[in-house]
């Protein structure tokens, strides 16, 4: 049988049925001159865009697309999706007929296209296609049925969760999320120990999409022998706000695995947030865990009591201030509750020998703003810990009484005093007008105009109107003064203030807020770590296999603070590079044939020459946070040590062998990054963990001339090598050609 003849005959019948009207009754046919060219583009580089335009055109595109169905083969395959999305009766009927075509490629394309047609007739046709003897047709039909929420998809998709190909398992998991039945949920839960982080992510999201039907299988999974299954089961129950899981999650806070304990506490917090009436009933049960033999259980119980937002939790938390393990968490929880009766006990906690307790107590007292605590806060202005001093001073400023103002006269400076200044760097007297910059009598044209001679300007330079300029060295030996201003509209001037208000306000994290963090951007710490592991969302990962995101944030925050900088300071030069890249992309000065940024080869930053190389890929590097970021570019950043700097390192670290010295130099002078990283640094103070993509804060400070080698050594005397090697991964001589971090 001739496939083309068959589809042509059926399509002709359809056209006759839906298109033939008596001439006296027929309106002039609708036409659109764009349609032929768009159809011709469907199989090309911009095929997706062509399909979107055909769908927007609608009815005038149907008859020409049905003609493509009659043509069969690849042309028919490409016509299926736009026809289904146009959704008129003739268009959909044409795709349903194509579903029965003997050509497996056409039938599979039709099956895939029908997932957007939410009608019983479409679902029945897909169900019929499950009986075809061609595997790809059956799978496409099952996936489309699942997208329609049809229970007939579950059994055919069962085997997809055991496929050897991770992408098949991922696709199957996402599809089953649309079928809200206990059977589908049970199959998803049974696969939670999948070795692929990307598949586990899809499984979790599918279970969350299932709604209440997933609660029962997830509760059962809390008894799994696998730690990985148990924490994901707890995560699922929290996302579902499954009230019926409370008793079992309370038991899971005592689980032998620390991740399961933490995720169970987070899940209970989410349930209480979604169902406020449950908070009151939880207080007594959670407070009982403050006496548990395991100190980690007591810590999670104290944290959770702060999240329940119940005044009844305050008394139990005050009692916990005497517990060596959980006192700091209890103090912070009392601050989160803003419990007025806690003022005196928290004031006493300022005298604790444990710095974590003093920090949390000062943080909490800042939230209470109780004038009766001024006398207790005054001595804390001289605390050896800078964060205790900061919170004591901040509390006194907010209390604002005359005796509080008097006490502040003795306050010592802290790293948090500078402020973030994300989009407000100090301005110069330089004036920008008519495409030129003028400073001290010197005039230069701005990029995209290029200069033959190197301009005598500092770089970076912020003009009087706030425009940020960077001096670029071009491939042709010329120069450009490139506007690279950070843009609020592009999210370059903000931080994650919801999770880290002190980071937003000052450019540095509060250690108290970091240690309290169990959820960032709505994702739990366990979920973030799972997505960040090597082989999950990327081949190299964002964290090493044994690293936790909060630990990395704390370590790097300590480093940035010791340098006398903020995370905003270190994000700024990365954003300058990204904005320069965007400018050249917009100007067409990107070599699309080699996918490389061939125009700009270097920039000047605070007197230091920084060489650049960048390339693009097909993109698709997703973020480990729920922030909407994705990446498609690789950026190589490098600088060279001067003879004096090399001599300085040899003098300070004379015992390092040649290979160790080479590693130290490389860690200080070379950075591999992408366009996600400046956002990570600005929004979260996250530079990545032990990965080849780590954008190390010390390296950023040195490469961009924000700190000299001598200043860096002074911040970490005799410890620079150990500091840099903690998370250093030697870069490969040549990065993958695609620049992709995908597994």
* Residue 21 scores a pLDDT above 50: no
* Residue 196 scores a pLDDT above 80: yes
- Upper half-sphere CA count for residue 462 (Cβ side, 13 Å): 15
| Cβ pair 554, 563 in contact under 8 A | no
How does pLDDT run across 428-439, given as a tens digit for each residue?
Answer: 999 999 999 999
How does pLDDT run across 77-113, given as a tens digit for each residue?
Answer: 999 999 999 999 999 999 999 999 999 999 999 999 9
**Helix, strand or coil for residue 728?**
coil
| Residue intervals in the chain for CATH 1.25.10.10 | 3-148, 217-414
**713: preceding bond cis by omega (within 30 degrees):** no
Q: Highest-confidence range of 272-276, 590-594, 604-608, by mean pLDDT?
A: 604-608
- Which of left, alpha, beta for 522 (phi over 0: left; psi -120 to 50: alpha)? left
How does pLDDT run across 558-573, given as a tens digit for each residue?
Answer: 999 999 999 999 999 9
Reported as a pLDDT band with limits 50, 70 and 90, residue 731 is low
**Helix, strand or coil for residue 7?**
helix
The mean pLDDT value of the chain amounts to 92
The predicted structure's pLDDT at residue 12: 38
Reported as a pLDDT band with limits 50, 70 and 90, residue 656 is very high
* Residue 5 scores a pLDDT above 80: no
Using a pLDDT cut of 90, give the percent of the chain over it.
85
Topology of the domain covering 217-414: 1.25.10
Reported as a pLDDT band with limits 50, 70 and 90, residue 24 is very low
How does pLDDT run across 161-194, given as a tens digit for each residue?
Answer: 999 999 899 999 999 999 999 999 999 999 999 9
DSSP at 245 = G
* Residue 235 scores a pLDDT above 70: yes
The predicted structure's pLDDT at residue 444: 97
CATH architecture designation of domain 3-148: Alpha Horseshoe (1.25)
- Least confident range from 335-339, 631-635, 737-741: namely 737-741
Structure tokens at 37: 């060219």
Reported as a pLDDT band with limits 50, 70 and 90, residue 9 is very low
Q: Taking Cα atoms as reference points, which of 737, 734, 729 lies closest to residue 690?
A: 729
- Least confident range from 449-453, 491-495, 520-524, 735-739: namely 735-739
* Residue 701 scores a pLDDT above 70: yes
CB burial string 341-362: b at 16+ within 10 A, e below: ebbebbbebbebeeebbbbbbb
Which residue's structure tokens are 């003009």? 463
The predicted structure's pLDDT at residue 30: 64
Degrees, nearest 5: CA angle 256-259-261: 60
The predicted structure's pLDDT at residue 26: 43
* Residue 527 scores a pLDDT above 90: yes
pLDDT (average), residues 479-492: 96
Cα dihedral angle (263, 265, 268, 274), rounded to 10 degrees? -80
Q: Highest-confidence range of 121-130, 531-540, 604-613, by mean pLDDT?
A: 604-613
Q: Does the global pTM surpass 0.75?
A: yes
The predicted structure's pLDDT at residue 158: 85
The predicted structure's pLDDT at residue 618: 66
- Higher-confidence residue of 293 and 7: namely 293
pLDDT (average), residues 526-535: 96
For residues 387 and 566, give the distance between their C-alpha atoms in angstroms, rounded to a whole number.
15
pLDDT (average), residues 417-429: 87
pLDDT (average), residues 436-448: 96
For residues 495 and 680, give the distance between their C-alpha atoms in angstroms, rounded to a whole number.
9
- Higher-confidence residue of 29 and 495: namely 495
The predicted structure's pLDDT at residue 742: 38
pLDDT (average), residues 421-448: 94
The predicted structure's pLDDT at residue 685: 98
- What is the C-alpha radius of gyration for the chain, rounded to an integer number of angstroms? 31
**460: preceding bond cis by omega (within 30 degrees):** yes
């Amino acid at each position: 049988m001739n496939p083309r003849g068959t589809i042509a005959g059926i399509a002709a019948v359809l056209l006759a049925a839906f298109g033939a009207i008596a001439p006296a009754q027929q309106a002039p046919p609708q036409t659109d001159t764009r349609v032929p060219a768009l159809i011709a583009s469907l199989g090309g580089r911009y095929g997706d865009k062509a399909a979107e335009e055909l769908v927007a055109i609608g009815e005038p595109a149907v008859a020409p697309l049905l003609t493509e169905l009659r043509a069969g083969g690849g042309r028919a395959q490409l016509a299926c999706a736009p026809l289904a999305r146009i959704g008129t009766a003739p268009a959909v009927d044409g795709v349903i007929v194509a579903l029965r075509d003997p050509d497996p490629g056409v039938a599979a394309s039709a099956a895939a296209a029908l997932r957007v047609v939410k009608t019983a007739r479409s679902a029945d046709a897909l169900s019929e296609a499950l009986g075809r003897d061609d595997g790809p047709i059956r799978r496409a039909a099952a996936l489309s049925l699942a997208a329609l929420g049809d229970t007939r998809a579950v059994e055919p998709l069962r085997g997809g969760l055991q496929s050897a190909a991770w992408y098949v398992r991922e696709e199957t998991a996402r599809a089953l999320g649309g079928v809200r039945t206990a059977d589908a949920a049970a199959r998803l839960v049974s696969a939670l120990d999948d070795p692929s982080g990307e598949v586990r992510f899809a499984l979790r999201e599918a279970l969350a999409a299932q709604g209440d039907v997933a609660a029962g299988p997830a509760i059962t999974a809390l008894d799994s022998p696998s730690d990985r299954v148990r924490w994901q089961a707890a995560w699922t129950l929290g996302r579902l706000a499954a009230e019926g899981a409370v008793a079992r999650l309370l038991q899971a806070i005592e689980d032998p695995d620390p991740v399961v304990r933490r995720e169970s506490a987070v899940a209970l917090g989410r349930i209480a947030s979604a169902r406020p009436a449950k908070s009151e009933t939880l207080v007594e049960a959670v407070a009982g865990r403050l006496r548990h033999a395991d100190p980690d259980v007591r810590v999670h119980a104290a944290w959770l009591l702060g999240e329940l937002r119940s005044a009844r939790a305050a008394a139990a938390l005050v009692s916990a201030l005497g517990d060596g393990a959980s006192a700091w968490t209890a103090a912070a929880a009392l601050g989160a509750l803003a419990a007025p009766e806690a003022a005196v006990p928290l004031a006493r906690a300022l005298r604790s020998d444990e710095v974590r307790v003093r920090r949390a107590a000062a943080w909490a007292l800042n939230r209470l703003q109780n004038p009766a605590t001024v006398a207790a806060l005054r001595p804390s202005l001289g605390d050896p810990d800078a964060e205790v001093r900061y919170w004591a001073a901040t509390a006194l400023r907010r209390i604002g009484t005359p005796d509080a103002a008097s006490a502040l006269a003795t306050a010592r400076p802290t790293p948090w005093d500078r402020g973030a200044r994300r989009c407000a760097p100090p301005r110069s007297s330089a004036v920008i007008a008519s495409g030129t910059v003028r400073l001290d009598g010197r005039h230069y044209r701005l990029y995209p105009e290029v200069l033959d001679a190197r301009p005598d300007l500092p770089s970076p330079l912020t003009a009087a109107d706030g425009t940020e300029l960077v001096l670029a060295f071009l491939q042709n030996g010329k120069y450009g003064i490139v506007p690279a201003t950070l843009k609020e509209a592009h999210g370059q001037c903000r931080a994650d203030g919801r999770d880290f208000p002190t980071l937003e306000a000052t450019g540095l994290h509060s250690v108290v807020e970091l240690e309290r963090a169990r959820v960032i951007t709505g994702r739990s710490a366990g979920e973030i770590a799972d997505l960040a592991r090597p082989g999950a969302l990327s081949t190299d990962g964002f964290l090493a296999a044994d690293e936790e995101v909060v630990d990395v944030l704390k370590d790097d925050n300590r480093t940035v603070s010791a340098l006398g900088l903020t995370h905003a300071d270190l994000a700024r030069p990365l954003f300058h590079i990204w904005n320069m890249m965007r400018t050249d992309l917009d100007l067409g000065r990107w070599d699309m044939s080699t996918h490389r940024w061939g125009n700009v080869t270097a920039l000047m930053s605070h007197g230091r020459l920084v060489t650049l190389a960048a390339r693009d890929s097909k993109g698709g590097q997703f973020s480990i946070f729920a922030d909407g970021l994705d990446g498609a570019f690789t950026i190589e950043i490098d600088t060279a040590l001067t003879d004096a700097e090399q001599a300085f390192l040899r003098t300070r670290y004379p015992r390092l062998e040649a290979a160790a010295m080479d590693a130290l130099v490389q860690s200080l002078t070379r950075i591999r990054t992408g366009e996600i990283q400046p956002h990570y640094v600005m929004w979260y103070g996250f530079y990545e963990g032990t990965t080849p993509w780590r954008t190390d804060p010390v390296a950023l400070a040195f490469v961009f001339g924000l700190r000299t080698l001598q200043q860096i050594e002074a911040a970490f005397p005799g410890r620079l090598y150990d500091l840099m090697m903690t998370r250093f991964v030697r870069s490969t001589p040549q990065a993958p050609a695609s620049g992709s971090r995908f597994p």
